[in-house]
Homo-oligomer: A and B are copies of this chain.
């Protein structure tokens, strides 16, 4: 790391797990702010609206402006509106308000978020039949799982893989690791990607994604991070035990060239 002028943070597994802030996370965020390093939040989370994400952060003691949060569903919404698509929404009930007002009938596209229990055979089959008929497949990400208080749970990625395998298509990923998603947050910060540091607990979406988009990246060992994950990183990729340790490294790197 060197010359870090801004930080992008993943949410679940970095700031909190379930409804509990991770130890030291609030203080670490305070240190970033006190040091004058601007922050944006980039998340593929898709079980609730961006407003709900902000409210949940506030309840856990993280004072975050909703406009600083970049969510994959909002990126999907922008893309769907720009192309005038009418998506079949394979999403969590908690995300439905985000798509209020988007025409959906008759569907000519499929959008997949982390639908959780709404991933029923019937819903997946309906999506599959639309894809076979040529509808584009838009998805929040390929995230494999996330950490819940009682263990790891399936994220949207496995179901995206299922639909891709079934219909012989490739999904358009709108969230991490899509470069455009990272770049939108960097542009909002007004900082070149090479001067932005992505901090996350997901090797593929956060770390490899950010590196592929020209950002710097750091893996934290909290959240879904498991033994063996570090072996999948390019040599030299920084790793920290938690957000507090990551912030120390970032602030030290901020004084670089």
Contact = CB atoms under 8 A, between A and B. Distances in A.
**Interface SS, A side:** helix
Contact of A144 (B117, B120, B157, B166): B166
A170 to B, nearest CB: 13
A181 interface: no
A207 B166 CA distance: 18
Contacts of A161: 158, 161-162, 164-165
A128 interface: yes
Contacts of A168: 144
A125 interface: yes
A20 interface: no
A121 B125 contact: no
Interface in A132-170: 132, 142, 144-145, 151-155, 157-159, 161-168
Total copies of the chain: 2
Interface residues on A, range: 20 to 34
A38 interface: no
A149 to B, nearest CB: 14
B122 A117 contact: yes
A90 B99 CA distance: 33
Contacts of A158: 124, 128, 161-163, 165-166
A73 to B, nearest CB: 18
A157 B154 CA distance: 17
A157 B119 CA distance: 16
Nearest to A119: B121
A118, A145, A165 interface centre (most CB from chain B within 10 Å) = A165
Contact of A154 (B118, B124, B151, B154): B124
A79 interface: no
A153 B165 contact: no
A93 interface: no
A238 interface: no
B157 A128 contact: no
B121 A154 contact: yes
Interface in A105-139: 115-122, 124-125, 128-129, 132
In the A-B complex, list the 6 residue pairs whose CB atoms are closest, starting with the nearest: A158-B162, A161-B165, A162-B162, A158-B166, A117-B121, A119-B121
Given A124-B158, A144-B168, A161-B165, 7 more contacts: A115-B121, A129-B151, A132-B145, A144-B167, A154-B166, A158-B161, A159-B162
6 contacts: A117-B121, A119-B121, A132-B152, A144-B165, A155-B166, A161-B165
